[in-house]
Chains A and B, each alone.
Chain A
Amino acid sequence: MQSIGKENGQKNIPDREVVVVEEEEEEQEELNQDWSQVASLVNKNAALSLPKKGEKDYEPDGTDLQELLLYKAKKAMFDTISDSIRGTTIKSQVKGYYVPHRHQAILPKPKGSFMQTMGRADRYGEYWLEFHEFVYLAERGTIIPYYKLEVNSSGESLDHDIEILLSMEDLYSLFSTQQEMDQYFVFAHLKRLGFILKLCGQDTGVKTSFYPARKQQNSLQMLTSRLLSLFKIQEISLFSGFFYCKWNFFFRKYTTSPQIYQNLNRLICSVAVPKTKYELWNAKNGGEVNHKKQHLPLTFDVWKPHANFKKKNPGLPDFQILVFNKNDDLQHFPTYEELRSIFTSLDYKFEFLNRVDDDFDWDANSYVEGIARSEYNLKTSTRSHTEKKASALKTKSNTQKKTKQPCTKKRPRTYPPHIQQNRRLKAGYRSFILAIMDNGLISFVKMSEADFGSENVWYTPNSQNKPVRKLKGGKA
């Protein structure tokens, strides 16, 4: 492969070469490799298929069965790739030009399926890629990266006259910080798995938010909420005082264990965790007062792979990711203060709301430009042509069907309270993904808020010998 690259007179283009194919027949957008052979190998016989991950023999058993299987699988794969033509056709080549002062790349003639999820056209009709998207596509071989020299001084026109083909090494050297590079690795890793990622600050079409546009909060409301929270703490100390007195059990009588527990659990208060839509709104408003300075901004919004993704109007992300480098002295694992400020800054499909209500309608409960997303979608669809209208209606009816179907399916899925409680405890509430970079290795951790303080798990013995678990006891 390298020899071909040198013949073409281009330095250092690893893993990629341009094959000039003149024939008209080969005008497919992408060359398809014939994987049917491999597929047949897999399907023919379960024992002949590629050895599955993790099913290794414990030790060499003196026979060559394993080796034979491996050899067959490998050979099938090599045969497949050796038959196909490598490279891209010149007509379907997409060139990307890196523009240093914007630290972005411009594509004069963009085409390809990547446009569905990446890049953005500005109002002059020029198609721009973020730098990490540019590197990713170059690494995949989808676009060919060039460096665009700006030649203002010589007075030449700003056509892309001087362009330098970039190698992967060159591209990597263009990362401005180590942090950006770490972010790129996380981006590329998840992107390869099919997820759709956007930088959190990146402006993408319209911004969808779980929170409605902020109205001026009533100062009276704020005052009362403050007062209430103050009262709550005091109440705790007033009540709990006597319980811990030495003579408590001589003066007060408790006829059930839960009574004792209820007195015990007033002593230590726990952080209030928002669990419903309105609590989330309140937490957001209150949180902005408390945590003015946000220490750690989130890095990526992530959507699960889905075919109908709309760049212009993506809806709420499924996850939000914070990238952090373990070996960077300037970064550290978030402290609780920082975790809380991250939790308040989250704005995604809070999946725990689905736990209470399976049919929680996300379009009705997320806001685009100050109005509910469902309304917004309706507005945009009526604005467009009648054809589109028809298609929109079609999809709408489809979605209606879809929502109806799970209704019937999900109805019997009501779990007994103690199992629901267990799920609440184990899954927690607001959550984000922490991506930890360690010398090129990425580990992901899901951090979620938990609230053991509002769940009581004590067992109440009763005469019928029937286990009854108390659900949601009184939290002071």
Chain B
Amino acid sequence: MSKGRVNQRRYKYPLPIHPIDDLPDLILHNPISWVYWAYRYYKSTNALNEKVHVDFIGDNTIHIIVQDDKQMLYLWDNGFFGTGQFSRSEPTWRDRTEVRLGLNDSPQQVGRGGKINTETQLTLERVTQQRRAQRLEFKKERARLERDLLELRKKGAHISEENILLEKQRESLREFKLKQMEDISVVGQQQNAPEIDLRNEDNDLLNENGDLLQLESLELMPVEAMFLTFALSVLEISSASLTRKLFPSDAKYKDIHSFVRSYVIYHHYRSHGWCVRSGIKFGCDYLLYKRGPPFQHAEFCIMGLDYDICKDYTWYSSIARVAGAAKKTFVLCYVERLISEEEAISLWKSNNFTKLFNGYQIGEVLYRRWVPGRNRD
């Protein structure tokens, strides 16, 4: 089965609230099917049976973490929320370690419904590792060929001779690359048994039954947690008590302002179907993915700003450079408060978040470097 198909099934739902899509067929000439349909419709609900439990750790900076294995995966699979603490984004530490220690004879596919076939057991981190090794090999090969060319040049060969050699070398490099591509698919299939290299510390990772302990947890950004509890009510904790955890009860407007702004932006993009993830790796506030990270690269870098703010040009220029170099479009997202500060803070205190967030307006401006030479005709 192709990777695309697997992803298609695994990440079927874009949000942790699933639509009611298992209703039986309505057969028009069969009234019993109507009754059955109505019964199923009545019985089913969008709400989760068991809400996700979050813990708060840390005193000064509060970390919002999900520790349950199933729930971690659930939040990742349904909308790509949170980040595994020991992983790049998806919490895969346990799987990776099992592979490393050779424990995955009976792979624990908790939460994935065992649907994943063993062919694609290769974890993402491992794929990256392989790709890097291959790239290194390729560079070595290229350097070798370049040395050949230099030899020829030193002998004082004519340029036409050089060109012939260059053409040959390019051809051989192309073949080399093709061969590598084949190799990677072979490696992916054969599930090569890596040499198990146990360290003393590794014993501490196992419990008395020899099973691997789950040390990793999923950390949520405050805005993600807010979205999950306020907009979708997926978390156990209510939005009111979440905000009490994050901010002191006597917070002034200036304390909550940046959180509210971030949330407004986050909600805005989430609600239009984007998968919004932190953009810190690209020097901005958010990255926008269509569907999610496994499907496509992020196409937009979002930077949130107050509508009356102007920064030094260097600030814009640096972020735009980073975004541009990663082939992403840089978006300045301006947030304007339509209600007064006092009103905002009183809405915050009375937990009327709907009205609070509704009092903000968003305007977007695209920022792109312009090259005169490329815009002449």
Interface residues of A (CB under 8 A from B): 45, 47-48, 61-63, 65, 189-190, 193-195, 236-237, 240-241, 243-244, 246, 248-250, 252-257, 259-261, 264-265, 267-271, 304-305, 319, 326, 332-337, 339-340, 422, 425-428, 431, 433, 436, 438, 443-453, 455-459, 461, 465, 470, 473
Q: Are B268 and A270 in contact (CB under 8 A)?
A: yes
Q: From B154, B270, B311, give the contact of A333 (CB < 8 A).
A: B311
Q: Are A449 and B272 in contact (CB under 8 A)?
A: no
Closest to A428 in B: B366
Q: Is B271 an interface residue (CB 8 A)?
A: yes
A452-B269, A453-B272 known, 17 other contacts, Cβ within 8 Å:
A62-B154, A246-B233, A253-B44, A254-B17, A255-B19, A267-B267, A268-B271, A268-B361, A271-B364, A335-B307, A336-B309, A336-B365, A428-B365, A433-B370, A445-B367, A446-B367, A448-B368
* Most chain B CB neighbours (cut-off 10 Å) among A194, A244, A335: A244
Given contacts A254-B19, A257-B19, contact A244 B365 (CB under 8 A): no
Interface residues of B (CB under 8 A from A): 8, 12-15, 17, 19-21, 23, 41, 44-47, 150, 153-154, 159-160, 162-163, 230-231, 233, 238, 264, 267-274, 290-291, 299-300, 305, 307-314, 316-317, 320, 329, 331-332, 334, 336, 353-355, 357-358, 360-373, 375-377
Closest to A190 in B: B372
CB-CB < 8 A to A265: which residues of B?
A: 268, 271-272
Q: Are A455 and B369 in contact (CB under 8 A)?
A: no
CB-CB < 8 A to B230: which residues of A?
A: 244
Nearest 7 A/B pairs, CB to CB: A458-B273, A265-B271, A264-B271, A271-B363, A249-B47, A336-B334, A336-B307
Q: Are A261 and B313 in contact (CB under 8 A)?
A: no
A56 CA to B16 CA, complexed, in Å: 53
Q: From B231, B268, B299, B310, give the contact of A453 (CB < 8 A).
A: B268
Q: Are B310 and A257 in contact (CB under 8 A)?
A: no
A433 CA to B269 CA, complexed, in Å: 27
Q: From A269, A326, A333, A446, give the contact of B362 (CB < 8 A).
A: A269
Q: Are B358 and A267 in contact (CB under 8 A)?
A: yes
Q: Are A438 and B376 in contact (CB under 8 A)?
A: no
Q: Are A241 and B19 in contact (CB under 8 A)?
A: no
CB-CB < 8 A to A336: which residues of B?
A: 305, 307-309, 332, 334, 336, 363, 365
With both chains docked as a complex, state the minimum distance between the C-beta of A47 and any C-beta of chain B, in angstroms: 4
Q: From A450, A457, A470, give the contact of B364 (CB < 8 A).
A: A450
Q: Are B264 and A452 in contact (CB under 8 A)?
A: no
CB-CB < 8 A to A248: which residues of B?
A: 233
With both chains docked as a complex, state the minimum distance between the C-beta of A262 and any C-beta of chain B, in angstroms: 9
Q: Are B264 and A268 in contact (CB under 8 A)?
A: yes
CB-CB < 8 A to B15: which residues of A?
A: 257, 260-261
Given contacts A335-B309, A447-B366, A457-B274, contact A269 B361 (CB under 8 A): yes
CB-CB < 8 A to A334: which residues of B?
A: 310
Q: From A253, A268, A447, give the contact of B367 (CB < 8 A).
A: A447
CB-CB < 8 A to A270: which residues of B?
A: 268, 361-364
Q: Are B358 and A237 in contact (CB under 8 A)?
A: yes
Q: Are A62 and B150 in contact (CB under 8 A)?
A: yes
Q: Are B376 and A444 in contact (CB under 8 A)?
A: no
CB-CB < 8 A to B160: which residues of A?
A: 47
Q: From A260, A335, A426, A428, give the contact of B310 (CB < 8 A).
A: A335
Q: Are A457 and B290 in contact (CB under 8 A)?
A: yes
CB-CB < 8 A to A443: which residues of B?
A: 317, 369
With both chains docked as a complex, state the minimum distance between the C-beta of A333 and any C-beta of chain B, in angstroms: 5
Q: List 23 A-B contacts (CB under 8 A).
A: A249-B17, A249-B45, A249-B46, A249-B233, A253-B45, A254-B20, A261-B273, A304-B375, A326-B313, A333-B310, A336-B308, A336-B309, A431-B366, A444-B369, A444-B372, A445-B367, A446-B369, A446-B370, A447-B366, A452-B269, A452-B272, A459-B273, A473-B272
A254 CA to B305 CA, complexed, in Å: 34
A340 CA to B361 CA, complexed, in Å: 14
Q: From A253, A445, A450, give the contact of B41 (CB < 8 A).
A: A253
CB-CB < 8 A to A249: which residues of B?
A: 17, 45-47, 233
Given contacts A254-B19, A438-B313, contact A455 B272 (CB under 8 A): yes
Closest to A193 in B: B372
Given contacts A246-B238, A253-B20, A457-B274, contact A449 B365 (CB under 8 A): yes
With both chains docked as a complex, state the minimum distance between the C-beta of A329 and any C-beta of chain B, in angstroms: 11
Closest to B21 in A: A255
CB-CB < 8 A to A445: which residues of B?
A: 316, 320, 367-370
A444 CA to B374 CA, complexed, in Å: 12
Q: Are A332 and B310 in contact (CB under 8 A)?
A: yes
A422 CA to B290 CA, complexed, in Å: 10
